[in-house]
Structure 1
């Protein structure tokens, strides 16, 4: 038997989730071609060599900035400071004038627009352009480099921008929330911060703060002796969650409908098709279905370009509970995604009223399904 061929089969959703656990700095890659500035947010950036000084930056070949860097032969790496999360969101989107209202300084070499206020700035001349998968790796010789003191870097972790310490707290919050909703501590038993911290590899203080935050969100309660207890999911809590999420999504449609790019709509259509495929797969597809559903709604809300709004929306998600509430042989029948398909079709047709109507129908369907599940579990889950 030949041993020369190795088969690789890592699922895309699994891969994205795993690499999302890597906390990284945030940069904006900028360049200028034919007098027009280009820029895109990137985290796949690294130093490559000290002698000579070289950097590498990976850009998707579908990006306009990618093509502009190829044409110009120069690019700037703007390492963002902790207060520049809005710039990360702005340059992370497709289309539009990303430089509108943004203060820049042109570099001496290549005339690259460098973002004022960045933590550090590096200007590179393109030396090599190897490709891998969907991306080109730009290897650049460093022509200019500068940094400012007294600021902290912007960090990126699992889809959220923030300062490094906040990223650690967010990681703990996500892990503790997942712990509670998966009922790793059963209803009626006390949540032990030290035990959870050891299990999720986090600091005990961060776990304690996460439990306090979850108490404010009604997912955790305080016992008679001050300890933390997982709270049951009731009709009232579920209705509140669905209404809150719908308020945010309808607000995005009403205020930012013109910001949906062709790429946004194409990605939402792809995720809609993936939901249908997973439902057809049946019993073993629930986990992936829930992950894709989260990605769909996150992508919709992200059109607003607000990290705070996206964070608030995610805190209202309790989809992991469905793994406990729905059996393997029934979820595909129960999780009808037809309203999502209608929402996507309305977005494709640029029909805001139709999109809002589909979203309201989706919310009503979700609330009814949740009510049925809760009733079957004696009034709480």
Structure 2
């Protein structure tokens, strides 16, 4: 086999590459290991079976990851293939931090490797080879233990995690929703289903179905010609959205406060700390703030154990519109997370009145800012 002279090859643009490889649907795993009794783990999607005889797996880890170095040191690692209800774990292990297993139920293998309870499947591998490529090491592992359970997988496709079957539909819905809220098609202009489908690499039927959902969410409306157009966001709509989301979260707090796991509290604290760090950064990232905000509220509502409730809650969110509506001063105020911090600690303490009060304050803060933004844009965005 001849080896290509890489010096003569011009790499594809990084943004193009990221977009293209995002079209590869995959499962979600957590790679785990242990050294001297200390447990380590990190989220990874670049994992695959390699050989049936002998049974081998491969897992790619970034060399900047602390788990990477521990796998090198231990010479053995676990592959935990996550089930559809373990999306919060993917987020949990995707962040840097100490003792990620403190709040995660797990079982130790014979080799002392932590295997996550409730995972779709768990595999223990002994490192056989460690080729490198770019920023990553490819760990080729000989499998010494493998176990699977009758559950549904957590799938990852184009930045979206969810059930395997509807992942493409969900990705189309989210892409269409972002198109509408970002005002890619301005107010007063028809939404071109084919254009949205082409831009988001989605099927036109999925985009059409997404617009039907968005009409029920009062984000688009149908004209007399049968076309859809973005619906103006008014103060009345933002008030309704914030109040409806607060009603769901208040219900979760009232019914589930005593059932919130240590793992969920740890996740909420991690996100709260990230929000605090973001506020201290001179170059604040709105995209990161919005993603953290979504993750926080999803984790809280997810305590109820209902994917339908989480879906309903998400469909009430209109945060995407702030990407093009906020002034720098308003964006700075949006970073004020004190009510989120108060809510987190009230949940950790099991203090229902304090949690409800913090939620109410957080909701009113959001409503007030939204009204100001809408007013600055002449009464609609």
Q: What is the TM-score of this pair, normalised by structure 1?
A: 0.69
The residue that corresponds to 1:216 in the other structure is 216
1:1-381 aligned at under 5 Å gives the runs 23-27=25-29, 43-49=45-51, 52-57=54-59, 85-86=84-85, 98=105, 124-125=125-126, 127=128, 139-143=140-144, 154-157=154-157, 158-163=159-164, 165-254=165-254, 255-256=256-257, 258-261=260-263, 263-278=266-281, 281=283, 285-333=285-333, 336-347=336-347, 349=349, 351-381=351-381
Render the CA deviation track for 1:45-89: whole Å, top value 9, x for unaligned.
2234566442134799899xx999x98x87775757xxx523666
SS of corresponding position for 1:47: strand
* Contact 1:58-1:137 within 8 A present in 2 as well: yes
1:349 positional shift: 5.0
* Pair 138,249 (structure 1): closer, same or farther in 2 beyond 3 Å: farther
1:215 positional shift: 1.1
1:309 positional shift: 3.5
* Contact 2:29-2:43 within 8 A present in 1 as well: yes
1:203 positional shift: 1.3
SS of corresponding position for 1:161: strand
The residue that corresponds to 2:98 in the other structure is none
Give the whole-Å Cα distance in 1 for the aligned partners of 2:176 and 2:132: 39
The residue that corresponds to 2:8 in the other structure is none
SS of corresponding position for 2:155: strand
SS of corresponding position for 2:202: coil
Q: Which moved more, 1:215-224 or 1:350-359?
A: 350-359
Q: Which moved more, 1:139-148 or 1:213-222?
A: 139-148
* Contact 1:76-1:123 within 8 A present in 2 as well: yes
Q: Gapped runs of 5+ residues in structure 2?
A: 1-17, 35-39, 93-100
Render the CA deviation track for 1:310-352: whole Å, top value 9, x for unaligned.
3332222111212332223443246543322332443455544
1:166 positional shift: 1.2
Q: What is the TM-score of this pair, normalised by structure 2?
A: 0.69
* Pair 291,328 (structure 1): closer, same or farther in 2 beyond 3 Å: same
